[in-house]
Amino acid sequence: MKQKVYLNIGEAYFTSGNYEIRTILGSCVSVCLFHEKTKLSAINHILLPGSMDKLEEKQSLRYGITAMELLINEFVKMSISRNHLKAKIFGGSQTLNLKTNNVGSKNILFVKDFLQTEKIPIISEDTGGELYRKLVFHTDNFDVFITKLQPNVSSEILTQERHFETKVRERMVKKTSIFTF
């Protein structure tokens, strides 16, 4: 039986084990990277492509540039070249009426550009749209299962995402280095 891991915003997981990694995505994006020969795999949960505060950006996996570099560097530490990796990408919805200024689309564009620059092929994707996604990544065979959540199921998630968006906006104004969520 596979051990279950729940991935939150701003987290990443790298493994050679047999796991079922779960997360829920709205405007956020997750990238599943893997190397078939060694059975190594990784996943992240990106909130935003980047930050105006470059120091904060380098210290947080909530930001795409930091989260992607971390994942790739874990493979490089294991002597796996970037061009031997494969990627699957998910998320980036424009969920309901969030005032996110097209964050979902920006996250998708960032991830696609980043992977293209690194010459890592995207072999599968389910991005965009208006619904939340429940993602389950099986690290033993690299399968990803997506369940689209209907609006009535996602009202609690919407409330949490609005709260999180408010906190991020407040932090951008205050420029504080302490984050409370």
Residue 65 has pLDDT above 70, yes or no: yes
Closest CA to 4 of 18, 17, 19: 19
For residues 111 and 106, give the distance between their C-alpha atoms in angstroms, rounded to a whole number: 9
Residue 57 has pLDDT above 70, yes or no: no
Residue 180 lies in a domain: no
- Domain of 83, CATH number, reads 3.30.1330.200
Domain count, the chain: 1
For residues 33 and 31, give the distance between their C-alpha atoms in angstroms, rounded to a whole number: 6
CB atoms within 10 A of CB 157: 17
123: containing domain: 3-174
pLDDT at 48: 86
Residue 181 lies in a domain: no
CA 54 to chain centre: 19
Residue 161 lies in a domain: yes
Kindly report, residue by residue over 90-109, the tens digit of the pLDDT. 999 986 655 557 899 999 99
pLDDT band at 123; cut points 50, 70, 90: very high
Kindly state the average pLDDT of the residues 50-54. 71
Q: Which two tokens stand for residue 104?
A: 């979902």
DSSP bridge pairs for 30: 90
Residue 38 lies in a domain: yes
Kindly report, residue by residue over 151-172, the tens digit of the pLDDT. 665 555 556 666 666 665 565 5
